[in-house]
Amino acid sequence: MKIRPLTPDLLAKAGSLVHHAFAPSRYELRLFDRLHEKNRPLHEWVCLHRQAVIACICFSRAFHGKKVCGLHLALLAVQPRQQGQGIGSELLRFALRQAAIATQPIYVLGDPAYFHKFGFVPCAAPICPLVRGNKHFLGLRNSIIEPITIGYEPEFYR
Ligand SMILES: CC(C)(COP(=O)(O)OP(=O)(O)OC[C@H]1O[C@@H](n2cnc3c(N)ncnc32)[C@H](O)[C@@H]1OP(=O)(O)O)[C@@H](O)C(=O)NCCC(=O)NCCS
């Protein structure tokens, strides 16, 4: 298995993976496609096995007002047949070591039981506008303690 930055030639395969990993939800594929259509600044890597994209991770900008204040772990997906084999953990650990990610506050909406292993902890602040009561809103290196609303790229808002 190789980990590579997501390049345009792998985009269709990565989109197909996102579709299958999150089915029947269509929100994540729409988000993934729209973030690329709008050329938003993203940090993305994929796991390749032979010619297939078997996992994908994508970080997008987090905002405090108009200022960038960190990154959102926007998507983490593993091909359903290959889940539970450590691939998601390996890709996430790899991404968290990369220079563009390693010093930034990172936020994710995700299962606390899964993300706790990587250092993410529940955040009371900032406020995530995508869920009620910050349910499953987690942070790594978060230093914001005021109840400001954290911003996402416009494509996140349904
Ligand atoms: C969540 C996901 C990325 C994890 O990747 P993975 O390769 O299957 O996970 P790993 O093999 O690295 O880790 C397996 C461990 O995580 C746990 N786990 C896997 N998915 C989990 C989830 N959604 N919630 C909580 N725990 C989870 C497993 O029980 C296992 O625990 P153990 O190590 O104590 O036995 C993958 O299952 C997936 O693509 N799910 C669908 C999309 C999704 O929900 N993405 C996350 C939100 S962005």
Q: In the chain, where are the structural domains located?
A: 2-156
pLDDT at residue 100, rounded to an integer? 95
pLDDT at residue 8, rounded to an integer? 96
For residue 84, the ligand 1 atom closest to its alpha carbon is 11
C-alpha of residue 156 to centroid of ligand 1, in Å: 22
C-alpha of residue 22 to centroid of ligand 1, in Å: 12
Nearest CA residue ID for atom 27, ligand 1: 114
Band of pLDDT at residue 59, cut at 50, 70 and 90? very high
pLDDT at residue 1, rounded to an integer? 83
* In CATH, 2-156 is 3.40.630.30: yes
**Residue 147 buriedness (CB in 10 A; 0-12 / 13-18 / 19+):** exposed
| Tens-place pLDDT, residues 82-132 | 999 999 999 999 999 999 999 999 999 999 999 999 999 999 999 999 999
Best residue for ligand 1 mutational test, from 114, 117, 137 (most atoms within 8 Å of Cβ) = 114
Q: Between the CA atoms of 88, 145, 101 and 34, what dihedral angle is there, to the nearest 10 degrees?
A: 70
Say if residues 73 and 137 touch (Cβ distance below 8 Å).
no
For residue 15, is pLDDT > 80? Answer: yes
pLDDT at residue 40, rounded to an integer? 98
C-alpha of residue 114 to centroid of ligand 1, in Å: 6
pLDDT at residue 82, rounded to an integer? 95
Question: In angstroms, rounded to a whole number, what is the distance separating the alpha carbons of residues 86 and 20?
Answer: 18
C-alpha of residue 55 to centroid of ligand 1, in Å: 12
